[in-house]
Amino acid sequence: MRLTTLPVLAAVTAAVLAGCGSDDPPTPAATNPAPTRPVETSPPAEIAGPPVAAALAALETDYAARLGVYAVDTGTGETVEHRADERFAFASTHKMLSAAAVLQATEPAELAQVIPFDAADVVGFSPVTEPAVGTGLTLLEVIQAAITVSDNTAANLLFEQVGGPDGLEAVVRGFSDETTSFDRIEPDLSEWAPGETRDTTTPRAMAANLRGLLLGDLLAEEDRTLLHDTMRANTTGDELIRAGVPEGWVVADKTGSATHGGRNDIAVIEPPGAAPIVLAVYSNRLDPEAESDPALIAAATAIVLDALAG
């Protein structure tokens, strides 16, 4: 099933772009054909040598932050890694996994079924679902709301479709991810402090999930295309990974925000005429009261892409 423009989402996206608040800043939607999945012709090689490591460490100093990065050029197999196995709050980046789990478990025709909910189900930042109380949304609209505007009630409705956090964790274990932990629903899952393991992942684990879902065979082709198109239409990442890529490159991403100044973005990046790059960037500030700064994610992205190009 190809992604379609839905009136309810179009109206709400316009409102968000006009200035509605969100934990994720808006960006214009993009539509492009899905990339051909690459065949790797060389073994993985980590290129995060001293210059790259020093540049990423300098960002941590400049922003008083902890930064986690995992990137892989799917054409060459080269990787950039920085704190790639440390845990970070996944925050709203989990919505990519929730959507994938629902797509994996349903037939295309089932995406047209209406999912009912009432006012008691609505949580903070739900610009698509809140106006639809009493009427409901189709399952496709719920998926699009969770991904493209990061609607939190939509995310919880997806949780319900797969059996809650435990059910989603079981699905993700089937993706060969033994790392990511699902424990709470929205909005509580974005509450994080140092040492917390609930609702956390690592950059390496999430990048592997993203690669398998959008570029691999974890989803049927129709579902993979739908998820990829929906992430390309994301409206919340203009200042994050998208801000760090060269003009003309296409980004399919999902962002997230957590307490402790947490800011995240995961993406499949499509350079013109080249194999996709999979990138996961997670961060938190050292000061628990500090605000997140999207420029940190954009700067890390630019460093990573420069390293892979070198």
The set of catalytic residues is: 92, 186
Instruction: Name residue, tokens 């070198």.
Output: 310
- Phi, psi torsion values for 109, nearest 5 degrees: -65, -25
Q: Are strands 88-89 and 78-82 parallel, antiparallel or unpaired?
A: unpaired
Q: Are 149 and 12 in contact (CB under 8 A)?
A: yes
Exposed / middle / buried, residue 53 (Cβ in 10 Å: 0-12, 13-18, 19+): middle
Instruction: Name residue, tokens 């003309």.
Output: 248
Q: Are 269 and 241 in contact (CB under 8 A)?
A: yes
Query: Which among 233, 229, 94 has a CA at the least distance from the CA of 154?
Result: 94
Q: Where do the H-state alpha helices sit in the chain?
A: 7-17, 50-63, 94-105, 139-148, 152-161, 164-173, 203-214, 221-232, 241-244, 294-309
State the Cα–Cα distance between residues 27 and 13, nearest whole angstrom. 10
Q: Provide the Cα torsion 21, 32, 264, 37; round to 10°.
A: 160
Q: Are 36 and 105 in contact (CB under 8 A)?
A: no
**Angle, helix 164-173 to helix 152-161, in steps of 10 degrees:** 70
DSSP state of 34: P
Q: Are 97 and 209 in contact (CB under 8 A)?
A: yes
